[in-house]
Amino acid sequence: MGGSADGFIETERKYEAEAGFVLPDLSGLAAVAAVTAPRVHRLRAVYVDTADHRLLAARITLRRRTGGTDAGWPLKLPAGVDSRREVHAPLGRSARAVPAGLAARVSGWTGGQPLLPIARLDTTRTVRHLTGHDGQVLAEIADDLVTGSLPVPGQPGWRRAASWRELEVELGTGSRDLLDAVALQLQEAGARPSAAASKLGRLLGTDRAGKG
């Protein structure tokens, strides 16, 4: 990921995997000195958007996430192939009030429409780092078990809509060649590139297919 005064650039690729998928040994890849031991995090993310999903249509996601090492409000904006610009705001006191600065950044897409909770994702994430000979993190591998829920129409609360497993490979100080090498290993082990650009898109696509 690349830092900037206006957030940072996140470069990652996503893969779908079956329940029995076994992560291959990635320690032999060029420039990789070691693969760290797995660390498990439990995350909950509530996504907000307009009722007609204007942010999703623009490949923008805005959510409130708790758990893990970077709890807060991440806003992700498109920034080229495999990359998005990510801007953060702290959790704050309210679980529903979108931080004013982030709401202002997306106002050109929302067109004055209110931002509402549209989905909740509960994720058990197992993280491993690919490190270089200098100890820097070249890439992060996140193995996610995801449960997606949607609001209950006309009622408070959520209903479970889908569950799946996916892998995210996020570039650190490594090169795109490393992303390509990891991709080859994962696909040879049985993973496949995700058909959805985001977890939110997958959940809402699954829900629409179920209604079709």
Q: Where residue 88 sits, what CATH number does that domain have?
A: 2.40.320.10
**pLDDT beyond 70 at 207:** no
Q: Whole-structure pTM over 0.75, yes or no? A: yes
Give the single-character DSSP code of 77: E
**pLDDT beyond 90 at 55:** yes
Tally of domains within the chain: 1
**pLDDT: which is higher, 197 or 71:** 71
What are the pLDDT digits (tens) for 152-185? Answer: 988 889 999 999 999 999 999 999 999 999 999 9
**Among residues 96, 74, 98, which one has the least CA distance to residue 12?**
74
| Residue at 7: amino acid letter | G
Alpha carbon distance 159, 22 (integer Å) = 30
Mean pLDDT throughout 132-157? 95
Predicted pLDDT of residue 25? 96
Question: Which residues form the domain of 55?
Answer: 2-211
Strand-strand pairing, 73-78 and 2-4: unpaired
**What is the rounded radius of gyration, in angstroms, for the C-alpha atoms of the chain?**
18
